[in-house]
Structure 1
Amino acid sequence: MIQAVVFDLDGVLIDTEPVWEEVRRGLVAESGGTWLPDAQTRLMGMSTGEWSRYLAEDLGVGGTPEEVAAEVLRRMAARYETALPLIPGAVEAVRRIGAEYRLAVASSSARVLIDHVLAAAGITALFETTVSTEEVPRGKPAPDAYLTAASRLGLAPERCAAVEDSSNGLRSASAAGLAVVAIPQPAYPPAGDALMLADSLLTSLAELTPELIASLRD
């Protein structure tokens, strides 16, 4: 039986993929680099170290990956201070699931952004643990973040469910052995092969219920 639910952050609880794209694309343009057609798809799920290196070396931003990461995170934090783009029903869904299941986060966002979002939404205390891909060897689609979340909960991955939206996130959770709930964002639809890894496909957080989680591996 499922005993815990591990939420992704970007694209599941907050609608920040457009913000990430705007901030990174803007930095690439300002630096005289080239934004490649598949850049956003490739970036989704990368750890901070991975995406900052990609921007610095492959997209032509220049500077060290550490400098690129610091600038992007500074701009993201500033945007969050202006407006936190919570997805409708996000807080309600977390509280609804948390009433019956243990909760964790496994996110590609930097630690500082994860903590800021959860605190601003007033839901920090609902999560037993949160994992940033900064803290594991590999970002999504590798399973590291989800394996670490399950380990910190003291559970086998098979006793956990993941809530994801992106191709790399779905691949990561599936590779780790979690049951997978997909709630795709229409603007950034996951690849068909990644979507096939999901145990359940929902159209919104309103459909995410304890009964749905219980049905995944009953």
Structure 2
Amino acid sequence: MAMRERAVEAIFFDMDGTIVDTEMLWAEAMVEYLADRGISGDKDEIISIVYGHAWSAIYEKIVALYPRTSVVSVNEMAVELRDYYIKLRNERDISIPESVECLRRLSAHYPIAIVSGSTRIDIGDTIKLMGLESNVLFYLGSEDYQYGKPHPMCYEMAAERLGADPERCIVIEDSRAGIRSAKAAGMRCVALVLEGALQQEIDGADLVLSSLADFGYEEAERVVKNGA
């Protein structure tokens, strides 16, 4: 008896705000980083800059908003800011348990990659912290692609690496920029809207969920076959 062909060829997870609840931590870290340099950062403004964007884009916007930070290079600021982030991360539980278990569950059926705007060192650390080393085939960070989300490059690169048809790939995202990136790459997109998270436009997502607790093989196949 022939096995039924799977509709899904690969699943790509965003990281911050999707697997781990860290976007607010990055915003808080930036506020503290600026304060230690005598700069009063607008937290709401910084939150809007951080959510869903690659580090290179965040750096450019921070420098434009606070010109005194321009004396520090993009790489230098990343290293310095990370110390603030790690301190906050060590004080809190950053896991989104339902998302972590969803990733593990789906990895039994499909190749899984993490495609994030964070740096590779932060993605690698998160994978280890969540115990996902055996579940994630590879990951792409901000150093790996020239244009960050909402540009489709990162997801296009992920599909190309696997030789996967973009129309048969699913992206799981939490931000407007990420959803736009996935759809521009020609992929299906599941939007995760967690309670208490920053409200963003999710137009274009094929499926909107408040939790990934019940998202598994059958649901993934249905997203590609039926669009929802």
TM-score, length basis structure 1: 0.90
Instruction: Tell me how far apart the structure 2 counterparts of residues 74 and 84 of structure 1 sit (CA, whole Å).
Output: 17
Instruction: Give the conservation status (yes or no) of the 8 Å contact 1:6–1:161.
Output: yes
Question: Identity, % of aligned pairs?
Answer: 30
Q: Which amino acid aligns with 1:94?
A: L
User: Displacement, 1:133?
Assistant: 2.2
CA shift for structure 1 position 52: 2.0
Equivalent positions of 1:20-31 (< 5 A) are 20-31=26-37
Q: Give the C-alpha shift of residue 158 in structure 1.
A: 1.3
Q: Does residue 15 of structure 2 align to residue 9 of structure 1?
A: yes
Q: How many residues align?
A: 215
Given that 2:30 and 2:81 are in contact with CA atoms closer than 8 Å, whether structure 1 keeps it comes out as yes
Residue 144 (structure 1) shift: 1.3
Indicate the RMSD between aligned Cα atoms, in angstroms. Answer: 1.8
> Following the alignment from structure 1 to structure 2, what is the Cα–Cα distance between the partners of residues 103 and 51?
26
Residues 162-188 of structure 1, C-alpha deviations (whole Å, 9 max, x = no match): 000111111111111110001113321
State whether residues 31 and 43 of structure 2, in contact with CA within 8 Å, keep that contact through their aligned partners in structure 1.
no
Runs (4+) of structure 1 exceeding 6 A deviation are none
Conservation of the 8 A alpha-carbon contact between 2:16 and 2:116: yes
- Quick check: 1:181–1:201 contact (8 Å CA) kept in 2? yes
Superposed, 1:135-150 pairs within 5 Å as 135-150=144-159
Alpha-carbon offset, residue 140 of structure 1 = 0.8
Q: Which position in structure 1 is the counterpart of 2:199?
A: 189
Contact 1:35–1:59 (8 Å) recurs in 2: no
How far off its partner does 1:53 sit?
2.7
Gaps of 5+ in 1: none
- The residue that corresponds to 2:3 in the other structure is none
Contact 1:129–1:153 (8 Å) recurs in 2: no
Q: Secondary structure at the match of 1:163?
A: strand
Q: Contact conserved, 1:47 with 1:134, CA < 8 A, in 2?
A: no
CA distance in 1, matches of 2:68, 2:31: 10
1:119 deviates by 0.9
Q: Which amino acid aligns with 2:53?
A: M
Q: Who is 2:206 aligned against?
A: 199
Residue 56 of structure 1 corresponds to 63
Conserved? CA contact 2:55–2:119, under 8 Å: yes
Which residue number corresponds to residue 157 of structure 1?
166
Unmatched 5+ residue regions in structure 2?
1-6
Deviation at 1:37, TM superposition (A): 4.5
Q: 2:35, 2:188 → 1: CA distance?
A: 39
User: What is the one-letter code of the residue matched to 2:64?
Assistant: E
Kindly state the Cα deviation for residue 84 of structure 1 after the two structures are TM-superposed.
4.6
TM-score computed with the length of structure 2 as normaliser: 0.87
* Residues in 2 aligned to 1:135 and 1:206: alpha-carbon distance in whole angstroms: 30
CA distance, structure 2, for counterparts of residue 34 and residue 201 of structure 1 = 33
Give the corresponding residue for 1:39: 46
2:139 is equivalent to residue 130 of structure 1:
yes
